[in-house]
Amino acid sequence: MQKLKNITTLLALLLFGIVAHAQKLDKDILTFDEYLGYVKKYHPVLKRANLELSKAQAALLQARGGFDPKIEVDYDTKRFKDYEYYSLLSSSFKIPTWYGIEIKAAFDNSEGVYLNPQNTLPNAGLTSLGITVPIGQGLFINQRMADVRSAKLQQRLSVAERKLQAVAVLYDASAAYFNWLKAYKEAKMYADYLEYSQTRYKGILKLIEQGDKPAIDSVESGITIKSRRLSLVDAKLKLTKARLELSNYLWIEDVPVEISETLVPQDNLTGTIDESLNATAFTQTDSILANHPKIQAMETKISMLDVERKLKANMLLPKLNVGYHYISEPSYVDQFRFEDYKLAVNFSFPILLRKERGALKLAKIKIQDASLQLHQERLQLKNKIDSQQAEITAIAEQREVISGLVNDYSTMLKSEERLFSFGESSFFLINTRENNLISARLQQIALENRYFFSKADLFKILANPD
């Protein structure tokens, strides 16, 4: 009767250890979704990525400056020994237009004793209004037009590259969170089993004192406690490192945030990870490829190369600029005399065009090379998506199997403890069952971590951070 009472006391101590630990709840939880929200809003790398959009807008503004109206004034004079040799004034207002056509209004004046006859003008000066048209090179595309088109495409490219940078940061941040969660669960598990082993040790000592168990059981129980404590110290070290690694991605405004030891990760992440990583935004592979920022970036680069190709092709045309300027004295500006004008024709054309043909051929080769890379990237992305989805499915099946194993090992341990209460088992068998359960639990935690990483890998492949 006394023996049954002692065993009952031991089981009560074991159950007390389990229940007491189960009631320890920490309400300071950093959820995965909340964590990613901080990273998206405050991480410096993502802020720098936003600056790329501003740089692209500034580049477009700069390119459009090539079409800004321009005022030019040239004044040149010479005086020597009280003689004014010459005084030349040339002023103009130019308006560049999209198709290379330039509109120009000008006023010229000149005077002096030794004035070049070519520069001799009426006393009131001379006004002019005219237009210059590139008939060959520069009519349908020129350097200013190419710069504006490339700058517009650069904006699209910056948006795509910003998404890729954001995905890279969020992936690394997610990996840090998953490692933190894994280290936390391992440390919590070892703390649980250390507490269980300490409770058993106290019960064993009481049974030894009453003569119901041999003294050697206390040695074995003590070894288990030391082993659990050793594992717990190592797990806490990993948890500290994981916590500090996670702190690299947490910022509030421009201030880095260090995670306190009381803050814990979200325990049940399986049901919310898809929504947090936006892994279900696209269901069709074609939609994924059409909206993928890497594909969009490569397509934009090809468009930019095509602008360069058109500019190089335009160089095969002869340079032929025709300019007509109506001229008049300021006092007669309202009297049109079309026979008063300046006409200019500029023509040049390289005979062999080797430089221009070589540049055009290189531009075409660049487009061909970029197009081949684009086709290869589409195929690789499709295969990566299919492969990653297959991996997620396989790991999910493995998680179901390991969950069953954990339940089975837990049942075996409880059964062994029950047999021990009737004196039909030994502490060695209980310890063996518990070690098997711990190994299964570690495998379960590792598989869960691998499952989360597989989800993050899919997120990285899909590259949809918004």
Q: Are 199 and 275 found together in one domain? A: yes
- Any domain includes 105: yes
Using DSSP's 3-state secondary structure scheme, residue 327 falls into strand
- Any domain includes 327: yes
Q: Are 401 and 299 found together in one domain? A: yes
Encode 345-410 in three state secondary structure.
EEEECCCCCHHHHHHHHHHHHHHHHHHHHHHHHHHHHHHHHHHHHHHHHHHHHHHHHHHHHHHHHH
Q: Are 216 and 262 found together in one domain? A: yes
Q: Are 25 and 119 found together in one domain? A: no
Domain count, the chain: 2
Of 126, 146, 130, 127, residue with least CA distance to 138 = 146
Q: How many CA atoms lie within 13 A of 432 on its CB side?
A: 7
- Any domain includes 148: no
Q: Do residues 416 and 333 lie in contact, with contact meaning Cβ atoms separated by under 8 Å?
A: no
- Any domain includes 443: yes
pLDDT at 209: 75
Q: Are 366 and 344 found together in one domain? A: no
Q: Are 347 and 397 found together in one domain? A: no
- Any domain includes 149: no
CATH of the domain at 59: 1.20.1600.10
Q: Are 380 and 338 found together in one domain? A: no
Distance CA(239)–CA(179), nearest Å, equals: 8
Distance CA(213)–CA(223), nearest Å, equals: 17
Q: Are 24 and 110 found together in one domain? A: no
> Pairing relation of β-strands 83-96 and 102-111?
antiparallel
pLDDT at 284: 66
End-to-end CA distance of the chain: 69
Q: Are 246 and 369 found together in one domain? A: yes
Helices (H), 99-215: 143-209
pLDDT at 81: 80
Q: Are 185 and 52 found together in one domain? A: yes
Q: Are 349 and 361 found together in one domain? A: no
Q: Position of tokens 């099946």?
A: 397
- Any domain includes 17: yes
Beta bridge partner(s), residue 73: 91
pLDDT at 43: 86
Kindly report whether the global pTM for this prediction surpasses the value 0.75. yes
Distance CA(126)–CA(267), nearest Å, equals: 85
Using DSSP's 3-state secondary structure scheme, residue 124 falls into coil
Single out the residue in 300, 327, 353 at which a domain terminates.
Answer: 353
Query: Phi and psi dihedrals of 268, rounded to 5?
Result: -100, 90
Range of the domain at 134: 70-143+319-353
- Any domain includes 152: no
- Any domain includes 386: yes
Of 374, 323, 319, 362, residue with least CA distance to 345 = 323
Per-residue pLDDT 10s for the chain (466 aa) are 444 444 444 443 343 333 333 333 234 888 898 899 889 888 888 888 778 778 888 888 888 888 889 999 999 998 888 788 888 899 999 999 888 889 999 999 888 887 888 788 888 888 889 999 998 888 888 889 999 999 999 999 998 988 899 999 999 999 999 999 999 999 999 999 888 888 877 777 777 777 766 777 677 778 888 888 999 999 999 999 999 999 899 888 778 888 888 889 988 888 889 888 877 655 566 677 888 899 999 999 999 999 999 999 999 999 999 999 888 887 655 566 777 888 999 999 988 899 999 999 999 999 999 999 999 999 999 999 889 899 999 999 999 999 999 999 989 888 887 887 677 777 778 888 888 999 999 999 999 999 999 999 999 998 888 7
Nearest 5 degrees, angle CA 378-CA 382-CA 386? Answer: 170
pLDDT at 13: 38
pLDDT at 9: 40
Q: Are 424 and 362 found together in one domain? A: yes
Nearest 5 degrees, angle CA 275-CA 404-CA 178? Answer: 35
